Chains A and B, each alone.
Chain A
Amino acid sequence: MWPRVLEFVLACWLAISPFVFRSGAEVSWLWTNDLVCAFAVAAAALLSLHHRLHRTHLANLAVALWLIGLAFARTSPPPAAYQNDLVVGLLLILFTIIPSRAAHPPRAWQRFFEQAHGGGR
């Protein structure tokens, strides 16, 4: 579950980012963008904790690509707020790839072991 916890922490950081990186005339746009993205990331991470929705966190890949795209849409080097979004996007990809029950074999393999041998040691 640790990847989902770290995604939630990233969402919290994204939510407070507009307080840290104030960016002139774009403050209201950044507020909206960062808060909507933070809510989406947190929601996907929390929903993934339910066993039937355990792959919902993959939706965070779309949010990550959006955040990365925002930085690349700006002239280089982008302002600090956009560099922050870029870093959050890259980190989000790293965490999102990892399945929720990362420390155990996938459920399909565990079921296979149980059927074939009566469980793994």
Chain B
Amino acid sequence: MPVTAPHPPVIDAIPAPWKHNPSGWGHRGSVALIAGAACLIALYMGLYQWRLIDGVWDPVFGGQTQQVLDSRVSATLQRWIRLPDAVLGAIAYLGDVIFVLAGSTRRWQCRPWLVMLFGLNVIPLVIVSGLLVVVQGAVVGSWCFLCLVTAALSLVLVGLACEEVWTCFLFLRGVWRATNTRRTLWNTFCGRPSPAAHAVAQRMTEGKS
């Protein structure tokens, strides 16, 4: 049984080592906006690959964007994944939006699995975006302005996601060090409470709420 403490925990508490809550709505809202913008840009390119629109706007490289989207690399990817690659990218960015909007402002403690899932969704996106940028220059020989924009947005997303994922990692590491049992660590990861996990979270937020 947990020990009764005098003050209830603040859900929107600031965990160490930050000066703001990385699970707070302000931080997560900005991540959702950036991921949403990347999702719309990818969807716009996907609509062209589906031939639902006739062309793609590119103020820098002109027709090169269409050459990239119609390239053999893109066709090969479509054969593998059964969808235009830009559409799959749009779905992945939408995943970022959904995963960042779900959960309370204390989800780094109460739903670590969700924070880690968000991190796992963000990191492959930046790797794939980076690879596609390299392929554009090295294999296709053309450049796609909107692809470069989404790659840059992916980098920003990774930077922003790091804070919350790191907080979650510190919390889970604290639980592991306090209990040294895999079962408690797994239960904490799955969002099940324990006095030990709560004590670790309280220490992380002490004097910051």
Residues of A within 8 A of B (CB): 3, 71-72, 74, 76-78, 82-83, 86-87, 90-91, 94-95, 97-99, 102-106, 108-109, 111-113, 115-121
Bound together, the chains give a CA A91 to CA B39 distance in angstroms of 13
Q: Is there a chain A Cβ closer than 8 Å to B91's Cβ?
A: yes
- B192 and A97 contacting across the interface, CB-CB below 8 Å: no
B 85-107 contacts with A by CB, 8 A = 87-88, 91, 94-95, 98-99, 101-104, 106-107
Q: How far is the CB of B209 from chain A (nearest CB, A)?
A: 9
Given contact pairs A78-B82, A105-B11, A91 touches B91 in the complex (Cβ within 8 A): yes
- A94 and B95 contacting across the interface, CB-CB below 8 Å: yes
Q: How far is the CB of B88 from chain A (nearest CB, A)?
A: 8
Bound together, the chains give a CA A115 to CA B3 distance in angstroms of 8
- A86 and B82 contacting across the interface, CB-CB below 8 Å: yes
- B198 and A105 contacting across the interface, CB-CB below 8 Å: no
Bound together, the chains give a CA A105 to CA B110 distance in angstroms of 6
Per-residue interface assignment for chain B, residues 1 to 33, with 1 indicating a CB less than 8 Å from any chain A CB and 0 otherwise: 111111111110000000000000000000000
The 8 Å CB contact of B2, one of A94, A97, A116, is A116
- Chain A interface mostly: helix
- A108 and B91 contacting across the interface, CB-CB below 8 Å: no
Residues from chain A with a CB closer than 8 A to the CB of B2 are 112, 115-116
Bound together, the chains give a CA A52 to CA B97 distance in angstroms of 28
- A116 and B5 contacting across the interface, CB-CB below 8 Å: yes
Given contact pairs A87-B87, A98-B98, A116-B3, A108 touches B78 in the complex (Cβ within 8 A): no
Q: How far is the CB of A121 from chain B (nearest CB, A)?
A: 5
- B9 and A117 contacting across the interface, CB-CB below 8 Å: yes
Residues from chain A with a CB closer than 8 A to the CB of B102 are 3, 98-99, 102-103
Residues from chain B with a CB closer than 8 A to the CB of A77 are 78-79, 82
Bound together, the chains give a CA A99 to CA B98 distance in angstroms of 12
- B191 and A108 contacting across the interface, CB-CB below 8 Å: yes
- B110 and A118 contacting across the interface, CB-CB below 8 Å: no
Q: Is there a chain A Cβ closer than 8 Å to B62's Cβ?
A: no
Bound together, the chains give a CA A106 to CA B11 distance in angstroms of 12
Residues from chain B with a CB closer than 8 A to the CB of A78 are 82
Given contact pairs A91-B91, A97-B117, A112-B198, A117 touches B106 in the complex (Cβ within 8 A): no
